[in-house]
Structure 1
Amino acid sequence: MKLLEEKIKNEGTTIGTDILKVDMFLNHQIDPILVEEMGKEFYRLFKDCGATKVVTIESSGISIAVAAARCFGIPALFAKKAAHKNVGNEVYSAKCYSFTHGNEYTMNVSKKYLSSEDKVLIIDDFMAGGNACNALIDIIGQAGAQVVGIGIAIEKGFQPGGKLLREKGYKVRSLAIVESMNDGEITFTPEIDS
């Protein structure tokens, strides 16, 4: 998605060769016009997948998931990263290692909101090693639901997550695939068909 790639090139910053900061428009401060366009693009890419629910992880994926869900006319659901008293004990849960934060956490989804009837489109802001998506796939499987697609705003193509999920047979579509980040220069690779 050229609009997202241009935003990354113009406003994104890098730390070393593996961390891309987009907090000025995506995962701290949010550009609502960009996010709305991202939702429309995910709809275009997945409109025929039969999704009944969009699922993401708190918190950075929420705005994108809501924008996509609005286009589909279906609910958006997010996995919580910690136990919450208001969720209760009836949850599906999975452990996940965060590349960004360098720690492991447990994500939870209330059993009230995910069932075997659901066809799930996963939407998230970043993919590096694929840990978050794999944890969501685990939770979706616990519910007996089906993953019908995975939409990622920014995929780090130089890390294995996207490749491994595509090899498992998932339809993965990324709006921007970062090929490399060297000396502050960000290069992109074309979308990979899956």
Structure 2
Amino acid sequence: MASAPPLLAQQQPVSTPIGEVVDSADVQREGDAPRHRASGYLFPVSLAAMPARKLIVYGPGDMSVQYTLNGGANGDGWIDLYVYPKDVQLDEEAAATDDIIREHYQGKRIDPPKDFGAPEYGVASGWYDATIGGKPYLTHYQLAHHGEWAVKVRFSMPADAAPDVRERAAAALAAFPTRWR
């Protein structure tokens, strides 16, 4: 009797501070900006006043860059910008993202806050009151498909964020991070 093949271990994400990112099979540095080699997507050095802080590689062709002014602490907001191979249609992936936010973060869908603009045409999005780490947050996603690739933004900030945090976040999201670069 043949034995079952061993289960392949799932790759653990590898997080690297943005200043320490070096050229690899997954990423190429272009000045201070990392380029996703497989797709050619160039991650911005910053989204408005929110600089890139760390790059996370989840697996081949699947990575993100996190943007935040203060590292996401002390009432700060953050944006995670992901690029990965698309495997379903935009509406199906948007529905799955909505389900994840509702289930994992007790997300309740809300209208977009008045101080935040709408994403570009062809970008799926949603706003939520959510719970992260037991605390109330405002969270948002934007999702776009470009050829064989998906670009997704996940933004979160404390529900009681200071006005400067909200203003910074609104400006960063107005930079249209899901646009192909």
TM-score, normalised to structure 2's length? 0.30
- Determine which structure has more spread, i.e. the larger CA radius of gyration: 2
Structure (1 or 2) with the greater strand fraction? 2
Structure (1 or 2) with the greater helix fraction? 1
TM-score, normalised to structure 1's length? 0.28
